[in-house]
A and B are shown apart, each in its own frame.
Chain A
């Protein structure tokens, strides 16, 4: 496996970093404080093609392979200091756009993908419910067949982009007895559909520039052609989207960790105590060495998993390993950076506390660390 970046990958990486630094970072502290979702920046990201990286060009995407998609996401995580915006883009792309691209009818792809790719449409993935998170397929939301299509009832929670979304990918039970095996279906619900609304918007510890909230579905009548894929196949659609998310979303963490590493090195080389830079002290240099090891190991895991996305029969295992390692490495790296920066790390202006707050969610969303360990254990025959 050769993970040296090609010339095209290198220039894409540089282009995204340049773009992010120039366009996305100003005002991030205020946005974070106000929990403000920057729609204007979302549109700029759309112009850059970030919301449609792997989608074929004919539907408005950039047609990148999964590894190059991960490299682009890594570049975004590196250049963009607004972790909430990065997360909003990743959730939209990987849990919503990818399923529409992979499982949509031709009509659905033509209707939604161009807008989803260029920023014109924002999507939310609604699967988690108040009483079913890790046990996600025990959902209570139902879709009953009617003469003209389906009637959806229920509610979803923790839905990223929910309060600002134009299109919702809703998972609902079409056969409670069958459960995940043939009993869950997916529907594309447009925001103006009667009975559909965004419910409570949550105040959060981190990722504050990404709007997260509840989705409420009360007698929402959708036509039969709002179903994504075939009836009863949504557990598979969801699993595939989670493989993408667990690999390409955490690619952003690789970039963020690299940014933190550089910040820690710069600080350790210039901050002096007792007349010498703190980086000369083994306690600090070893901590930074561990950050470097963690970064490189995570990058390899993510690249390897991304290079196998779409081909490998073990992708769920690869994705679980990459996800758990990257998210836990991000949390540890953020804490290490804060420790190295001392009191300054704790102050808002330095940005590290925000990364740490954002990072804390990474071991929960896209399946908790415990769930990833369950998956790995099962793959090992346990």
Chain B
């Protein structure tokens, strides 16, 4: 079932804060904070995030999407919505 933009963003942000940024200020993680190029996600955590998106939103990302569409919260929200058919 399709999930709305804000719900996706909040869920993913909450996940990123809990998993990868414990103790950090949530205000520092904006919609456009670079996650991969900014060093928040490395290869292991990227695959962990991919697994989370699969389990939470029932979306399976292909190799291209994993490589190129996970750098910001906005990117992630867009790709989840696109995969859910709401783009």
Residue interface bits A354-382, CB-to-B below 8 A is 1, else 0: 00000000000000000000110011010
Stretch at the interface among B3-11, B47-55, B78-86: B47-55
Which partner residue on chain B sits nearest A239 by CB separation? B47
Residues of chain A with a CB closer than 8 A to B19's CB = 381
Interface size classification for chain B: 20 to 34
Complex Cα distance, B63 from A302, in Å, reads 25
Interface size classification for chain A: 20 to 34
Residues of chain A with a CB closer than 8 A to B46's CB = 180-181
Closest CB in chain A relative to B59 CB, distance in Å? 11
Q: Is B63 a contact partner of A229 (Cβ separation < 8 A)?
A: yes
Residues of chain B with a CB closer than 8 A to A312's CB = 51
Interface of A is mostly: helix
A-B contact count (CB 8 A): 59
Of A233, A234, A316, the contact of B51 (CB 8 Å cutoff)? A316
B27 at the interface (CB under 8 A from A): no
Q: Is B50 a contact partner of A181 (Cβ separation < 8 A)?
A: no
Closest CB in chain B relative to A214 CB, distance in Å? 25
Q: Is A233 a contact partner of B63 (Cβ separation < 8 A)?
A: yes
B43 at the interface (CB under 8 A from A): yes
Which partner residue on chain B sits nearest A320 by CB separation? B44
Which partner residue on chain A sits nearest B22 by CB separation? A381
A230 at the interface (CB under 8 A from B): yes
Q: Is A314 a contact partner of B44 (Cβ separation < 8 A)?
A: no
Residues of chain A with a CB closer than 8 A to B45's CB = 378
Q: Give 13 pairs: A residue, B residue, CB < 8 Å, sorted on A.
A: A181-B36, A181-B37, A181-B67, A181-B70, A181-B71, A233-B62, A233-B64, A236-B63, A236-B66, A313-B50, A313-B55, A378-B48, A379-B48
Which partner residue on chain B sits nearest A316 by CB separation? B47
Which partner residue on chain B sits nearest A103 by CB separation? B63
Q: Is A378 a contact partner of B67 (Cβ separation < 8 A)?
A: no
Complex Cα distance, B67 from A314, in Å, reads 18
Of A137, A232, A379, the contact of B43 (CB 8 Å cutoff)? A137
Residue interface bits A177-195, CB-to-B below 8 A is 1, else 0: 0001110000000000000
Residues of chain A with a CB closer than 8 A to B70's CB = 181
Q: Is B43 a contact partner of A235 (Cβ separation < 8 A)?
A: yes
Complex Cα distance, B44 from A315, in Å, reads 12
A180-B43 CB under 8 A given contacts A378-B48, A381-B22: yes
